[in-house]
Chains A and B, each alone.
Chain A
Amino acid sequence: MILGPHVDFIVAAYAVTVFVVVALMAWVILDYLAQRRILGDLEERGVTRHSGRAGKVER
């Protein structure tokens, strides 16, 4: 695969896209882990929701 005289622009476009997509994925994964951890802490302290009293919180 030869990218010709404009290789810098092509590589920069792919680099920016990969960076943004990886940042989005990291945000979603880290946010999920954070929310699960906080929910776990609250449950351990015996805090429940109105609708969650009958059973454990679905995660």
Chain B
Amino acid sequence: MAVIDLANPTRFLAVVNRVLPWLMAATILAFAFGLARVMYAPDDYQQGATVKIMFLHVPAAWLGMMGWGVMTVAALGTLVWRHPLADVAGKAAAPIGAAFTFICLVTGSLWGRPMWGTYWVWDARLTSVLVLFLLYLGVLALYWTAEDPGRGSRAAAILALVGAVNIPIIKFSVEWWNTLHQPASIIRSGGSAIDPSILMPLLIMAGAFTLLFFTLHLAAMRNEILRRRVRSMRLMQASRA
């Protein structure tokens, strides 16, 4: 089967039905391995045991941004090529990306209270992630409240493209402005600043969360394709009545 064949929703569904069980199994295995490593990871010399929150916070932050990346690519597919599967991918990614961004904000706050002495500061990193979450809510509102699904999808795609500007702002906010949030410590020139005993469990957890994201995304895409079939069948039924 060529990759282009996946653009057909029926063939895409057949592939998803075959791939999903394997993806679920890989996700469960990755989480079992990652959580075992998290349990035995040493405390950080400054953060103490609260470093364990980072094993959730960092992957959630990455996936919140990756979700918007998926929506941006899907938005191009919707607006430029008008492919229905691109719109399905964008709509399915929005609630998942929003959920991970929410996890990022909450776990960050719960880490900030004991480490910074506050749940929240209006610094550039925290504020730009909050803006990302609000943009997700805006996209979801457009998808869920539009009376005409086509118009809602186009409006959501435009917002996804405009909101993509926020992703580099989040990434580089800690370099462009003076923030309480620490600068990049994993992906940076000169290598990671984190000890391997903490970095390895963090990367494994990031892999597990990424597998979870794609598992949920494929399953949500399948649901959306079925929902559109239901809609078209109901329209057929109504036109016959």
Interface residues in chain A, defined as those with a beta carbon under 8 Å from any beta carbon in chain B? 1-7, 9-10, 12-14, 16-17, 20-21, 23-25, 27-29, 31-32, 35-36, 38-39, 42, 45, 47-52, 57-59
Binding site secondary structure of chain A:
helix
Interface residues in chain B, defined as those with a beta carbon under 8 Å from any beta carbon in chain A? 10, 13-14, 17, 39-40, 43, 48-50, 52-53, 56-57, 60, 95-96, 99, 102-103, 106-107, 110-111, 113-114, 212, 216, 219-220, 222-223, 226-227, 229-230, 232-234, 236-237
Q: Which 9 A-B pairs have the closest CB atoms?
A: A35-B226, A4-B49, A6-B114, A13-B107, A13-B110, A13-B53, A28-B219, A3-B49, A31-B223
A9-B111, A16-B107 in contact; A35/B95 too (CB < 8 A)? no
B140 CB to nearest A CB, Å:
12
Determine if B14 and A58 form an interchain contact, defined as CB atoms under 8 angstroms apart.
Answer: yes
Determine if A13 and B216 form an interchain contact, defined as CB atoms under 8 angstroms apart.
Answer: no
A58-B10 Cα distance, complex, nearest whole Å: 6
A47-B237, A49-B229 in contact; A9/B50 too (CB < 8 A)? yes
A16-B103, A20-B103, A35-B227 in contact; A10/B233 too (CB < 8 A)? no
A7-B49, A28-B223 in contact; A49/B99 too (CB < 8 A)? no
A33 CB to nearest B CB, Å:
10
